[in-house]
């Protein structure tokens, strides 16, 4: 089992290219099974979740190969609608294959992803969307089967803006007969990326980024092309790292326009921020202060995925910070590890109250999940002595070589 070792106390200084977005790459790769051609995805991050998605694509019959940061998916051959449980279980977001395989094959059989580190992960909204397009859904022996020879367009009213359900609805609708309107759609920028790719394949989709998405179904899709957007959560994590450690970092290939609430919170903490096209510069010299209350919300609100790293950055900030997590039930699982490092955090339900402390100390801690692990790394940079973080397999799901990135910014970090 590998660990990430970080010795705190050094300020950060340097430049870092932001990796391609995990949460764009996964639905884009799943979407490629809808096409009967060759797709190329540039700026594809090297992550274990991407590798798991590629294994599913290969299993269902796609040819997949990489060249530099590009991944090529050839889905022109026959595609199988079944994914084995072992492959489904490796990653919660594999549920995105539901809409894509149903649309391509007229049927799909998958095991349910179940809960995960963040709490229960229901799929009712995904199924609501597929049923609205005519799919017959049955559940037997833990497997979910959806059938419909040719989906027909319809109205999908999502009662809450689920990112995955919006993506599944789009994937199912692009080849359905007739028109589809999705209301209450999630507005995350990754959904805009999905729309751009689908359009490059010949799909007729508009509205991504707003809460109403309109789709006119087409008979077939050809191959397509997409440069994956920058990972706004990885960017937020490295900005939080610099806020925590002090110093100055410059992130390029970034998307500041998609990160407004995170940048606002960092400014509120006393960091100096400058942004340019694809560029974010953060400098923190003086003491940090509380940014005021931070409430996670669907986009364009403060992203739940940035809550753990931001929490880690405020541990030594002057004053009290209140965080309210409204998206996931169990997204404070990093708190006990942060407390063991000296943090003063109280949680009750959705609320966490963090009182700034003078000192944090390194120690042996375990990552509870992907973003929780990132939080431990951010805290370790401001702690005295060495922190040894185990459970780094969670971090490898979403961060491309975090030890390397932190080292490039001047931190004392290594992966062993
Ligand atoms: N929900 C339902 N029913 C559903 C689907 C979702 O009740 O059918 C609930 C969830 O339980 C949750 C909320 O709706 O409470 C939001 O879930 P959503 O469907 O929007 O999340 P997701 O699509 O499963 C994506 C990201 C997550 C990110 C969330 C919220 C991907 C692959 N994953 O998940 O990313 O936290 O949106 O922004 O895009 C991460 O990167 O660390 C991560 C967890």
Per residue, the 3-state secondary structure of 222-279, as one string, reads: CCCEEECCECHHHHHHHHHHHHHHCEEEEEECCCHHHCHHHHHHHHHCCCEEEEECCE
pLDDT per position as a tens digit, 386-398: 999 999 999 999 9
- Give the pLDDT confidence score for residue 141 in this predicted structure: 77
Contact status, residue 267 vs residue 261, Cβ threshold 8 Å: no
Three-state DSSP class for 143? strand
pLDDT per position as a tens digit, 280-317: 999 999 999 999 999 999 999 999 999 999 999 999 99
Contact status, residue 414 vs residue 5, Cβ threshold 8 Å: yes
**Using a 6 Å CB cutoff, which residues line ligand 1?**
22-23, 26, 93, 121-126, 160, 162-165, 186, 233, 303-305, 327-328, 370-371, 398
Ligand 1 centroid, distance to 326 Cα (angstroms): 12
Sheet holding 247-252, edge to edge: 12-17, 247-252, 279-284, 272-276
Q: What separation, in Å, do the N-terminal and C-terminal C-alpha atoms of the chain show?
A: 9
- Give me the mean pLDDT over the 34-49 stretch: 97
Contact status, residue 71 vs residue 31, Cβ threshold 8 Å: no
Which region among 141-150, 354-363, 365-374 has the lowest average model confidence (pLDDT)? 141-150
- Give me the mean pLDDT over the 236-264 stretch: 98
- Give the pLDDT confidence score for residue 148 in this predicted structure: 93
- Give me the mean pLDDT over the 256-275 stretch: 98
Ligand 1 centroid, distance to 414 Cα (angstroms): 31
Ligand 1 centroid, distance to 13 Cα (angstroms): 34
- Give the pLDDT confidence score for residue 161 in this predicted structure: 98
pLDDT per position as a tens digit, 152-178: 999 999 999 999 999 999 999 999 999
- Give the pLDDT confidence score for residue 350 in this predicted structure: 96
- Give the pLDDT confidence score for residue 1 in this predicted structure: 77
Q: How far is 167 from 64, CA to CA, in rounded Å? A: 22
Residue positions annotated with a catalytic role: 116
Which region among 90-99, 144-153, 321-330 has the lowest average model confidence (pLDDT)? 90-99
Best residue among 19, 31, 48, 164 to mutate for probing ligand 1, ranked by most atoms within 8 Å of CB: 164
pLDDT per position as a tens digit, 186-210: 999 999 999 999 999 999 999 999 9
Q: Which residue has the higher pLDDT, 137 or 119?
A: 137
- Give the pLDDT confidence score for residue 111 in this predicted structure: 87
Is the predicted pLDDT of residue 116 greater than 70, yes or no?
Answer: no
pLDDT averaged over the chain?
95
Give the residue whose CA is nearest to atom 23 of ligand 1: 164
User: Who's near 357: CB < 8 A, 6+ residues apart?
Assistant: 315, 316, 342, 343, 344
Give the residue whose CA is nearest to atom 2 of ligand 1: 122
Q: How far is 79 from 89, CA to CA, in rounded Å? A: 20
Give the residue whose CA is nearest to atom 14 of ligand 1: 162
Per-residue confidence at 115, pLDDT binned at 50, 70, 90? low
Share of the chain above pLDDT 70, in %: 98
Is the predicted pLDDT of residue 114 greater than 60, yes or no?
Answer: no
CB atoms within 10 A of CB 225: 14
- Give me the mean pLDDT over the 201-227 stretch: 97
- Give the pLDDT confidence score for residue 19 in this predicted structure: 98
Give the residue whose CA is nearest to atom 26 of ligand 1: 23
Is the predicted pLDDT of residue 120 greater than 70, yes or no?
Answer: no
User: Who's near 216: CB < 8 A, 6+ residues apart?
Assistant: 153, 178, 179, 204
- What does each C-alpha distance from 298 to 44, 57, 331, 353 come to in angstroms? 24, 29, 15, 21
Which of 254, 264, 271 has its CA nearest to residue 293?
264
Q: How far is 31 from 158, CA to CA, in rounded Å? A: 20
- Give the pLDDT confidence score for residue 90 in this predicted structure: 86
- Give me the mean pLDDT over the 398-408 stretch: 97
Ligand 1 centroid, distance to 113 Cα (angstroms): 12
Three-state DSSP class for 142? coil
């Amino acid at each position: 089992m590998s660990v990430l070792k970080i010795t705190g106390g050094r300020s950060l200084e340097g430049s870092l290219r932001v990796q391609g977005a995990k949460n764009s790459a996964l639905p884009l790769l799943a979407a490629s099974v809808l096409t009967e051609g060759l797709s190329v995805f540039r700026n594809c991050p090297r992550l274990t979740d991407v590798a798991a998605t590629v294994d599913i694509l290969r299993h269902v019959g796609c040819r997949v190969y990489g060249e530099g940061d590009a991944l090529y998916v050839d889905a022109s051959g026959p595609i199988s609608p079944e994914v084995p449980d072992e492959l489904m279980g490796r990653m919660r977001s594999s549920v995105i294959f539901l809409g894509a395989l149903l649309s391509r094959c007229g049927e799909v059989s998958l095991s349910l992803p179940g809960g995960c580190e963040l709490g229960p992960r229901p799929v009712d909204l995904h199924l609501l969307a597929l049923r609205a397009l005519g799919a017959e859904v049955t559940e037997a022996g833990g497997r979910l089967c959806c059938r419909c020879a040719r989906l027909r367009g319809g109205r999908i009213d999502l009662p809450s803006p689920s990112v995955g359900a919006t993506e599944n609805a789009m994937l199912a609708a692009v080849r359905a007969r007739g028109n589809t309107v999705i209301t209450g759609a999630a507005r995350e920028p990754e959904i805009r990326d999905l729309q751009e790719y689908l359009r490059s394949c010949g799909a007729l989709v508009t509205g991504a980024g707003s809460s109403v998405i309109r789709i006119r179904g087409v008979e077939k899709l050809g191959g397509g092309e997409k440069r994956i957007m920058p990972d706004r959560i990885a960017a937020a994590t490295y900005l939080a790292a610099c806020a925590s450690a002090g110093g100055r970092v410059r992130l390029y290939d970034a998307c500041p326009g998609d990160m407004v609430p995170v940048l606002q919170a960092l400014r509120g903490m006393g960091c100096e921020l400058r942004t340019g096209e694809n560029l974010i510069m953060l400098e923190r010299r003086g003491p940090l202060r509380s940014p005021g209350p931070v409430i996670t919300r669907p986009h364009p609100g403060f992203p739940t995925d940035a809550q753990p790293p931001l929490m880690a950055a405020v541990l030594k900030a002057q004053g009290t910070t209140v965080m309210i997590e409204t998206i996931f039930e169990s997204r404070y699982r990093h708190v006990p590890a942060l407390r063991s490092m000296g943090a003063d955090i109280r949680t009750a339900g959705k609320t966490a109250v963090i009182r700034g402390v003078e000192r944090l100390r390194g120690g042996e801690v375990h990552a509870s999940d992907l973003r929780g692990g990132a939080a431990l790394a951010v805290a370790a940079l401001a702690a005295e002595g060495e922190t040894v973080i185990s459970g780094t397999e969670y971090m490898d799901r979403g961060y491309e070589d975090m030890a390397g990135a932190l080292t490039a910014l001047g931190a004392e970090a290594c992966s062993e």
